[in-house]
Amino acid sequence: MEGVTWTGFSAVLRARQSKRCFLDRPVSRRVLEKVLRAAAHAPSTRNGQPWQVAVVSGSSRDALARRLCADFDHGLEPKPDYPNRPARPDETTAARAREAGAGVLRAKGIAREDRAARRTHVRDNLRFYGAPVEMIFHLPADAPPGLFLEMGLFLENVMLALVACGLGSCPQYSVAGHADSIRDELGLGADRLIVCGLAVGYPDESMAVNRFRPRRAVPAEYVQWHGRQPPETGSAG
Ligand SMILES: Cc1cc2nc3c(=O)[nH]c(=O)nc-3n(C[C@H](O)[C@H](O)[C@H](O)COP(=O)(O)O)c2cc1C
Protein backbone atom coordinates (compact mmCIF):
# COMPACT_ATOMS: atom_id res chain seq x y z
CA MET A 1 0.00 0.00 0.00
CA GLU A 2 1.30 3.40 -0.94
CA GLY A 3 3.08 5.30 1.83
CA VAL A 4 3.02 2.37 4.27
CA THR A 5 6.36 0.77 5.07
CA TRP A 6 7.14 -1.99 7.53
CA THR A 7 9.95 0.14 8.97
CA GLY A 8 7.67 3.10 9.63
CA PHE A 9 4.84 0.98 10.97
CA SER A 10 6.97 -1.09 13.33
CA ALA A 11 8.74 2.07 14.54
CA VAL A 12 5.39 3.49 15.67
CA LEU A 13 4.43 0.19 17.32
CA ARG A 14 7.70 0.03 19.22
CA ALA A 15 7.69 3.68 20.16
CA ARG A 16 4.41 3.24 21.99
CA GLN A 17 5.34 2.62 25.56
CA SER A 18 3.45 3.59 28.66
CA LYS A 19 4.65 7.05 29.72
CA ARG A 20 4.40 7.91 33.39
CA CYS A 21 5.85 11.41 33.53
CA PHE A 22 4.77 14.35 31.36
CA LEU A 23 5.96 17.82 30.50
CA ASP A 24 3.95 20.83 31.59
CA ARG A 25 2.96 21.49 27.98
CA PRO A 26 -0.63 21.69 26.79
CA VAL A 27 -1.97 19.53 23.95
CA SER A 28 -4.03 21.33 21.33
CA ARG A 29 -7.58 20.29 20.57
CA ARG A 30 -6.66 20.15 16.88
CA VAL A 31 -4.12 17.39 17.51
CA LEU A 32 -6.49 15.47 19.79
CA GLU A 33 -9.25 15.64 17.20
CA LYS A 34 -6.89 14.44 14.49
CA VAL A 35 -5.87 11.48 16.68
CA LEU A 36 -9.45 10.54 17.58
CA ARG A 37 -10.63 10.80 13.98
CA ALA A 38 -7.85 8.50 12.80
CA ALA A 39 -8.41 6.06 15.69
CA ALA A 40 -12.07 5.71 14.75
CA HIS A 41 -10.97 3.79 11.66
CA ALA A 42 -10.83 0.80 14.03
CA PRO A 43 -13.03 -2.05 12.86
CA SER A 44 -16.12 -3.06 14.82
CA THR A 45 -18.81 -5.67 14.37
CA ARG A 46 -21.22 -4.47 11.69
CA ASN A 47 -19.58 -1.05 12.10
CA GLY A 48 -21.28 -0.44 15.44
CA GLN A 49 -18.39 1.79 16.69
CA PRO A 50 -19.43 1.39 20.33
CA TRP A 51 -16.61 3.50 21.83
CA GLN A 52 -17.18 6.79 23.60
CA VAL A 53 -14.43 8.90 25.08
CA ALA A 54 -14.49 11.91 27.38
CA VAL A 55 -11.48 14.18 26.77
CA VAL A 56 -10.76 15.95 30.03
CA SER A 57 -8.36 18.89 30.20
CA GLY A 58 -7.83 22.27 31.86
CA SER A 59 -9.88 22.96 34.97
CA SER A 60 -12.03 19.83 34.37
CA ARG A 61 -8.90 17.70 34.41
CA ASP A 62 -7.73 19.36 37.62
CA ALA A 63 -11.12 18.85 39.27
CA LEU A 64 -11.20 15.17 38.27
CA ALA A 65 -7.67 14.60 39.58
CA ARG A 66 -8.57 16.36 42.86
CA ARG A 67 -11.66 14.19 43.26
CA LEU A 68 -9.86 10.90 42.59
CA CYS A 69 -6.94 11.81 44.84
CA ALA A 70 -9.41 12.76 47.59
CA ASP A 71 -11.04 9.31 47.20
CA PHE A 72 -7.61 7.77 47.61
CA ASP A 73 -6.64 9.94 50.58
CA HIS A 74 -9.89 9.04 52.35
CA GLY A 75 -9.06 5.36 51.91
CA LEU A 76 -11.92 4.65 49.51
CA GLU A 77 -11.52 1.12 48.14
CA PRO A 78 -11.28 1.01 44.31
CA LYS A 79 -14.56 -0.26 42.84
CA PRO A 80 -14.20 -0.74 39.07
CA ASP A 81 -17.23 -1.61 36.95
CA TYR A 82 -15.63 -4.85 35.73
CA PRO A 83 -12.73 -7.16 36.62
CA ASN A 84 -9.67 -6.94 34.36
CA ARG A 85 -8.08 -10.25 35.26
CA PRO A 86 -9.14 -13.73 36.33
CA ALA A 87 -9.65 -14.34 40.06
CA ARG A 88 -6.63 -16.63 39.96
CA PRO A 89 -4.21 -15.53 37.20
CA ASP A 90 -1.88 -18.22 35.86
CA GLU A 91 1.70 -18.13 37.12
CA THR A 92 3.17 -16.89 33.81
CA THR A 93 0.87 -13.88 33.76
CA ALA A 94 1.40 -13.19 37.44
CA ALA A 95 5.19 -13.33 37.04
CA ARG A 96 5.08 -10.88 34.13
CA ALA A 97 2.92 -8.50 36.16
CA ARG A 98 5.34 -8.68 39.10
CA GLU A 99 8.32 -8.06 36.79
CA ALA A 100 6.66 -5.07 35.09
CA GLY A 101 5.51 -3.58 38.39
CA ALA A 102 8.94 -3.97 39.94
CA GLY A 103 10.55 -2.46 36.85
CA VAL A 104 8.43 0.69 37.02
CA LEU A 105 9.22 1.16 40.71
CA ARG A 106 12.95 0.56 40.10
CA ALA A 107 12.95 3.10 37.27
CA LYS A 108 11.36 5.60 39.66
CA GLY A 109 14.00 4.81 42.29
CA ILE A 110 11.41 3.37 44.69
CA ALA A 111 12.60 0.53 46.95
CA ARG A 112 10.31 -2.49 47.34
CA GLU A 113 10.05 -2.01 51.08
CA ASP A 114 9.29 1.73 50.86
CA ARG A 115 5.54 1.51 51.39
CA ALA A 116 5.00 5.27 51.51
CA ALA A 117 6.71 5.82 48.16
CA ARG A 118 4.81 2.92 46.63
CA ARG A 119 1.57 4.44 47.84
CA THR A 120 2.54 7.77 46.29
CA HIS A 121 3.18 5.96 43.01
CA VAL A 122 -0.30 4.41 43.09
CA ARG A 123 -1.77 7.83 43.90
CA ASP A 124 0.20 9.31 41.00
CA ASN A 125 -2.13 7.35 38.69
CA LEU A 126 -5.01 9.42 40.00
CA ARG A 127 -3.33 12.68 39.03
CA PHE A 128 -2.75 11.07 35.64
CA TYR A 129 1.01 11.07 36.14
CA GLY A 130 0.90 14.83 35.64
CA ALA A 131 -0.48 14.59 32.09
CA PRO A 132 -2.43 17.66 30.92
CA VAL A 133 -5.16 15.50 29.36
CA GLU A 134 -7.00 12.47 30.68
CA MET A 135 -9.22 10.48 28.35
CA ILE A 136 -11.98 8.39 29.90
CA PHE A 137 -13.19 5.52 27.71
CA HIS A 138 -16.73 4.34 28.36
CA LEU A 139 -19.24 1.82 27.05
CA PRO A 140 -22.91 1.04 27.68
CA ALA A 141 -23.38 -0.42 31.18
CA ASP A 142 -24.60 -3.71 29.69
CA ALA A 143 -21.62 -4.07 27.31
CA PRO A 144 -20.87 -7.73 26.52
CA PRO A 145 -17.22 -8.88 26.17
CA GLY A 146 -17.30 -8.23 22.40
CA LEU A 147 -17.66 -4.50 22.95
CA PHE A 148 -14.59 -4.49 25.19
CA LEU A 149 -12.70 -6.09 22.31
CA GLU A 150 -13.81 -3.30 19.97
CA MET A 151 -12.96 -0.65 22.54
CA GLY A 152 -9.49 -2.20 22.77
CA LEU A 153 -8.99 -1.81 19.02
CA PHE A 154 -9.99 1.86 19.26
CA LEU A 155 -7.82 2.44 22.32
CA GLU A 156 -4.71 0.99 20.67
CA ASN A 157 -5.33 3.14 17.61
CA VAL A 158 -5.55 6.20 19.86
CA MET A 159 -2.25 5.33 21.54
CA LEU A 160 -0.47 4.73 18.22
CA ALA A 161 -1.86 7.89 16.65
CA LEU A 162 -0.64 9.85 19.67
CA VAL A 163 2.86 8.47 19.09
CA ALA A 164 2.72 9.59 15.46
CA CYS A 165 1.95 13.12 16.75
CA GLY A 166 4.89 13.15 19.18
CA LEU A 167 2.67 12.48 22.18
CA GLY A 168 2.76 9.78 24.82
CA SER A 169 0.13 8.03 26.91
CA CYS A 170 -0.51 5.55 29.68
CA PRO A 171 -3.65 3.40 29.77
CA GLN A 172 -5.07 3.33 33.31
CA TYR A 173 -7.31 0.67 34.78
CA SER A 174 -6.46 2.15 38.19
CA VAL A 175 -8.50 5.22 37.27
CA ALA A 176 -11.50 2.99 36.46
CA GLY A 177 -11.43 1.93 40.11
CA HIS A 178 -13.11 5.29 40.77
CA ALA A 179 -15.94 4.77 38.30
CA ASP A 180 -18.64 6.35 40.47
CA SER A 181 -16.63 9.53 41.06
CA ILE A 182 -15.80 9.75 37.35
CA ARG A 183 -19.45 9.42 36.37
CA ASP A 184 -20.35 12.07 38.92
CA GLU A 185 -17.63 14.53 37.83
CA LEU A 186 -18.30 14.08 34.11
CA GLY A 187 -22.08 13.96 34.32
CA LEU A 188 -22.28 10.40 33.00
CA GLY A 189 -25.30 8.31 33.94
CA ALA A 190 -25.43 4.88 35.55
CA ASP A 191 -26.01 3.57 32.02
CA ARG A 192 -22.32 4.13 31.22
CA LEU A 193 -19.52 1.74 32.16
CA ILE A 194 -16.03 3.16 32.75
CA VAL A 195 -13.50 1.03 30.86
CA CYS A 196 -10.25 2.86 31.59
CA GLY A 197 -8.46 6.16 31.60
CA LEU A 198 -5.64 7.27 29.32
CA ALA A 199 -3.13 9.86 30.49
CA VAL A 200 -2.08 11.91 27.46
CA GLY A 201 0.65 14.49 27.01
CA TYR A 202 4.16 15.23 25.86
CA PRO A 203 6.31 12.75 27.74
CA ASP A 204 9.30 13.89 29.77
CA GLU A 205 11.93 11.71 28.13
CA SER A 206 14.58 12.80 30.64
CA MET A 207 12.86 10.58 33.24
CA ALA A 208 14.10 6.99 33.51
CA VAL A 209 10.57 5.70 34.12
CA ASN A 210 9.67 6.70 30.58
CA ARG A 211 12.44 4.55 29.18
CA PHE A 212 11.45 1.39 31.05
CA ARG A 213 10.58 -1.37 28.59
CA PRO A 214 9.01 -4.49 30.08
CA ARG A 215 10.20 -7.67 28.37
CA ARG A 216 7.96 -9.09 25.67
CA ALA A 217 7.32 -12.78 25.20
CA VAL A 218 8.71 -14.34 22.02
CA PRO A 219 6.29 -15.89 19.49
CA ALA A 220 7.07 -19.43 20.71
CA GLU A 221 5.37 -18.43 23.97
CA TYR A 222 2.10 -17.28 22.42
CA VAL A 223 1.77 -18.69 18.90
CA GLN A 224 0.55 -22.14 17.91
CA TRP A 225 1.24 -22.92 14.27
CA HIS A 226 -1.09 -25.32 12.50
CA GLY A 227 -0.38 -26.79 9.07
CA ARG A 228 2.61 -26.04 6.89
CA GLN A 229 3.65 -22.42 6.37
CA PRO A 230 5.19 -21.83 2.92
CA PRO A 231 8.69 -20.31 2.65
CA GLU A 232 8.93 -16.58 2.10
CA THR A 233 7.93 -15.40 -1.36
CA GLY A 234 7.47 -11.62 -1.08
CA SER A 235 9.27 -8.80 0.71
CA ALA A 236 7.16 -8.65 3.85
CA GLY A 237 10.27 -8.06 5.96
C1 LIG B 1 -6.09 -1.81 29.93
C2 LIG B 1 -4.77 -1.37 30.55
C3 LIG B 1 -4.78 -0.84 31.83
C4 LIG B 1 -3.58 -0.39 32.41
N5 LIG B 1 -3.60 0.22 33.64
C6 LIG B 1 -2.47 0.79 34.13
C7 LIG B 1 -2.52 1.59 35.30
O8 LIG B 1 -3.56 1.74 35.95
N9 LIG B 1 -1.38 2.19 35.71
C10 LIG B 1 -0.21 2.06 35.03
O11 LIG B 1 0.81 2.65 35.42
N12 LIG B 1 -0.12 1.31 33.90
C13 LIG B 1 -1.23 0.69 33.43
N14 LIG B 1 -1.19 -0.02 32.26
C15 LIG B 1 0.07 -0.10 31.50
C16 LIG B 1 0.71 -1.48 31.56
O17 LIG B 1 1.34 -1.65 32.78
C18 LIG B 1 1.69 -1.57 30.37
O19 LIG B 1 0.97 -1.49 29.17
C20 LIG B 1 2.50 -2.87 30.36
O21 LIG B 1 3.31 -2.97 31.50
C22 LIG B 1 3.37 -2.94 29.11
O23 LIG B 1 4.23 -1.83 29.08
P24 LIG B 1 4.23 -0.78 27.88
O25 LIG B 1 2.84 -0.23 27.76
O26 LIG B 1 5.22 0.27 28.29
O27 LIG B 1 4.62 -1.50 26.65
C28 LIG B 1 -2.36 -0.52 31.70
C29 LIG B 1 -2.38 -1.11 30.42
C30 LIG B 1 -3.56 -1.52 29.85
C31 LIG B 1 -3.56 -2.09 28.47
- The C-alpha angle with vertex 146 and arms to 186 and 223, in degrees rounded to 5, equals 120
Ligand 1 atom at shortest distance from the alpha carbon of 212: 26
Instruction: Give domain status of residue 91, yes or no.
Output: no
Domain count, the chain: 1
Cα 185 to Cα 80: distance, rounded to the nearest angstrom: 16
Q: What is the pLDDT of residues 88-99, one digit of tens each?
A: 999 999 999 999
Mean pLDDT of 157-178: 98
- Does the structure show a pLDDT above 90 at 170? yes
β-strand pairing of 133-140 with 52-57: antiparallel
**166 CB contacts (<8 Å, ≥6 apart)?**
202
The pLDDT value given to residue 59: 98
- Check residue 233 and give its pLDDT: 75
Residue nearest to atom 28 of ligand 1 (CA): 171
Q: Is 171 touching ligand 1 by the criterion CB < 6 Å?
A: yes
One DSSP character per residue, 5-48 reads -HHHHHHHHHH--B---B-S----HHHHHHHHHHHTT---GGG-
* pLDDT tens-place string over residues 65-119: 999 999 999 999 999 999 999 999 999 999 999 999 999 999 999 999 999 999 9
Q: What is the pLDDT of residue 234?
A: 65
Is 23 part of any domain? yes
Q: Which of 14, 18, 151 to mutate to test the pocket of ligand 1 (most atoms within 8 A of CB)?
A: 18
Q: From the CA of 100, give the closest atom in ligand 1.
A: 21
Condensed to tens digits (0 to 9), the pLDDT of residues 181-192 reads: 999 999 999 999
Q: Measure 42 CA to ligand 1 centroid, in angstroms.
A: 20
In a domain, 53, yes or no: yes
Mean pLDDT of the chain: 96
| Structural domain that includes position 210 | 15-81+100-214
Predicted TM-score (pTM) of the model is 0.97
CATH number of the domain where residue 119 is located: 3.40.109.10
In a domain, 199, yes or no: yes
End-to-end CA separation in angstroms for the chain = 14
